[in-house]
């Protein structure tokens, strides 16, 4: 039997397939990855799942409309639609700032330039502390931008800006949730 015939024989293909299967099983058995938001079975000495940890955070009230939007979305996402716990072990201070800018000046007439688009940028800063010890568990800062049109009508411009605030608030809450989940899963 020549070398090319030996390589294509059924026996050598079965041996190669078995070796590939064995290598795949060895790789898969060494894998210790778990989803970020999973709540796997609790075991002795193992931290609770990230979703459980997120539900154990109470978010303090915020004094701006867009800040309250971010807070409400976070509470909804942390607790799966339920309200905050009465006695949670962690508390979160949240500060949200907004910046509205004109992004483009377009010549509407020969005499004047008017802004035709705008950008709403929301910045969220959070600090999570352990209530019992007063120790800072996590902190961070995230920002999100949302664009909007500035039509000639004043009310339409105000409504477009508010809609941009709402979109940015939803996206900022999602970014903050991910950042906080990562911080909490680290320990």
Question: What CATH number has the domain bearing residue 80?
Answer: 3.30.160.150
CA-closest candidate to residue 78, choices 187, 176, 166: 176
Q: Is the pLDDT of residue 150 over 60?
A: yes
Nearest residue to 181 via CA among 77, 70, 93 = 77
* Structural domain containing residue 145: 50-103+115-185
Give phi and psi for 126, each to the nearest 5: -130, 150
According to DSSP, residue 49 is labeled P
Q: Write the pLDDT tens digit of every residue in 31-69.
A: 655 555 555 544 333 345 777 888 888 889 889 999 999
The mean pLDDT value for 9-28 works out to 78
Specify if 35 maps to a domain.
no
How many structural domains comprise the chain? 1
Q: What is the pLDDT of residue 118?
A: 86
Question: Does the pLDDT of residue 99 top 70, yes or no?
Answer: yes
């Amino acid at each position: 039997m020549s070398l090319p015939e030996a390589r294509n024989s059924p026996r050598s293909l079965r041996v190669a397939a078995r070796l590939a299967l064995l290598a795949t099983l060895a790789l898969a058995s060494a894998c210790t990855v778990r989803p970020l938001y999973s709540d796997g079975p609790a075991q002795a000495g193992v931290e609770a799942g990230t979703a459980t940890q997120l539900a154990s955070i109470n978010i303090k009230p915020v004094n701006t409309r867009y800040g309250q939007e971010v807070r409400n979305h976070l509470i909804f996402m942390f607790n799966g639609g339920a309200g905050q716990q009465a006695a949670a072990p962690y508390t979160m201070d949240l500060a949200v700032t907004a910046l509205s800018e004109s992004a483009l000046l377009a010549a509407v007439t020969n005499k004047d330039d008017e802004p035709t688009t705008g950008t709403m940028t929301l910045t969220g800063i959070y600090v999570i502390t352990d209530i019992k010890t007063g120790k800072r568990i996590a902190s961070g800062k995230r920002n999100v931008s949302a664009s909007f049109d500035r039509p000639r009508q004043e009310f339409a411009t105000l409504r477009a800006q508010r809609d941009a605030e709402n979109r940015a608030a939803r996206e900022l809450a999602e970014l903050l949730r991910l950042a906080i989940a990562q911080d909490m899963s680290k320990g």
